Amino acid sequence: MLDDAQDLSFQPVDETAARILSGDAVAHYNKEGFVQPFDIFDAAEIATIRDYLDGLMRDMGPDGAYGINCYQARLSGLWDIATDRRILDLVEDIIGPDILCWASAILSKKAHDPKAVPWHQDASFWSLSPARTVTVWLAIDDADAENSAMRFIPGTHDKGAMKVQSTGENAVFHKETANVDELGEPFTNALKAGQISMHADMLVHGSLPNNSDRRRCGLTLRYCPPSVEITDPAWASGVEAILCRGDAGKWKTHPRPSNNDITKTQSPHVVGNN
């Protein structure tokens, strides 16, 4: 539920402070609300990560495709991905040198999965303020229009909270951004396995049913600076942040876990689908 006290405005990134991102890339993020693609993991590395995530989903059983949320502080394998230097170097250019990862999710759409992720703005569902989270979407499989890659509505990240309406059937949640046809043409976030995109937390996005013969799996990692605050104490009890770089400020963070067996722990919180 939207909190009237939340600051959901967009703060443009200072391109003069960027170390890795080009000026054009920062300008694109500021104008459109996202930037992509970036090569992170090579073929061998992403194959290893894919095997690891496939194992987690198998261990979770029927809920594995949509139910592996916010284990970044509970599984050492996810911790290691979230704290990979190559990802953090890019994230730092967006949010600064102090980096927390407060959520993650494995989002796997099987071939011929009929579920759509309706158009939505992530930060309007979260009890965080100000809205300064950047979401990294790591392609575990090749993602394209055919197998339901995530789609963005460019330039919707700096418009504040938009009106919502009820969704139809076969949607993963019951509310969606209203009047999307008036917001511009969608951009398909096509990525090769091992690449990432980064998008702002108020950017309108979603995905269609997967009508193809190919799975589409991704890992989302949500990063924010410690200037962000949790506005709802009840919501805070389900957030297990990890400090990836720099100073955690007032945030409570968790050390790298020794456990890497998902059957020996459980998610503290469930937030978002893409």
pLDDT of 172 reads 74
Alpha carbon distance 127, 84 (integer Å): 26
Helix extents (H) in 97-243? 233-236
Q: What is the pTM of this model?
A: 0.95
Alpha carbon distance 104, 224 (integer Å): 12
Domain residues of the chain, as ranges?
15-264
Q: Which residues of the chain have pLDDT under 70?
A: 1-4, 64-65, 270-274
SS3 content of the chain, % helix, strand, coil (to 5): 25, 25, 50
> Which residue spans within the chain are E strands per DSSP?
34-39, 68-69, 99-109, 117-120, 128-129, 134-139, 151-152, 164-166, 175-177, 187-188, 195-200, 205-207, 216-224, 229-230, 242-245
pLDDT of 39 reads 98
Alpha carbon distance 268, 70 (integer Å): 7
Residue that has been written with the tokens 């198998």 in this structure: 58
SS3 (DSSP) at 172: coil
- Per DSSP, the residues of 12-39 read ---GGG-SSS-HHHHHHHHHHSEEEEEE
**CB-count exposure of residue 125 (10 Å: 0-12, 13-18, 19+):** middle
Q: Assess contact for 140 and 218: CB atoms under 8 A.
A: yes
CA distances in angstroms from 211 to 62, 120, 126, 185, listed in the order given: 20, 21, 30, 21
Alpha carbon distance 91, 46 (integer Å): 19
What DSSP state is assigned to residue 58? H
pLDDT of 65 reads 66
Domain 15-264, second-level architecture:
Sandwich (2.60)
pLDDT of 230 reads 95
**Angle, vertex CA 198, rays to CA 196 and CA 202, nearest 5:** 145
pLDDT of 1 reads 45
By C-alpha distance, which of 53, 61, 59 is closest to 107?
A: 53
Query: Hey, what are 140's tokens?
Result: 């575990």
Q: Assess contact for 131 and 223: CB atoms under 8 A.
A: no
pLDDT of 264 reads 96
The number of beta carbons lying within 10 Å of the beta carbon of residue 27 is 15
pLDDT of 128 reads 96
